[in-house]
Amino acid sequence: MKTILAVVASADGRITGPRGEQPHVWASAEDQKYFRSLIRKLGVVIIGRNTYLAHRRQLKLVSKIRRLVMTSQPWKLKKDEVKGQLEFTSLSPVRLIAALEKAGYRQAVLAGGPRLNAAFLKAKLVSEIHVTVEPKAFGAGLPILDGTFKQIQLRFIGFKKLNKSGTLLLRYKVSN
């Protein structure tokens, strides 16, 4: 299964601002447009509980997009669940991808925080990494990855300048 880790970061590699500001506050409109189009194209997005809680007010459920929230306590969020659109699971990354493949899915977007992103990389479940680099430096905030995986090799696929401000979309293939 093709899994694309999609993330927006500051030029110093932060996915939140120094006071926890989420990307929907500081990311460019062009990045947000790209991210929405990627989700529409792939049809499945996997996030963690913290990412869900940080973005739940901005989340617009759409019948053609399946959002899976990974959490160790899915029962605590079941009241928010909408089958086929927003689901909560305690499956491991390996078992979640296997379940998606069994259900006929061929690709998914991974849009988690540092721990979830690293867990998928550690399990060798990430095919590509798409990083939008915003021309900002925060000096603090959450990193893209938490560093609990061994070094991985990436192969550059391409880049695109998204706006006049210098927002860049970098795409890499993961060499497992």
Sheet of strand 86-89, all strands in order from the earlier edge strand to the far edge: 86-89, 66-70, 44-48, 107-110, 2-10, 128-134, 168-175, 153-161
- The domain total for the chain is 1
* Pair 74, 89: CB distance under 8 Å: yes
133-150: burial string, b at 16+ Cβ within 10 Å, e else: bbebebeebbbbbeeebe
pLDDT digits (tens, 9 = 90+) for 134-154: 999 999 999 999 977 788 999
Domain range for 57 is 2-175
* 128 bridge partner residues: 4, 173
The CATH number that applies at residue 129 is 3.40.430.10
pLDDT digits (tens, 9 = 90+) for 77-113: 989 999 999 999 999 999 999 999 999 999 999 999 9
pLDDT digits (tens, 9 = 90+) for 24-73: 999 999 999 999 999 999 999 999 999 999 889 888 898 899 999 999 99
Q: How far apart, in whole angstroms, are the C-alpha atoms of residue 92 and residue 55?
A: 22
Side chain identity at residue 153, one-letter code: Q
Q: What is the pTM of this model?
A: 0.94
| Radius of gyration of the chain from its Cα atoms, rounded to whole angstroms | 15
Collapse the DSSP code of 95 into the 3-class scheme (helix H, G, I; strand E, B; otherwise coil) and give the result: helix
Q: Quick one: which H or E segment has residue 8?
A: strand 2-10
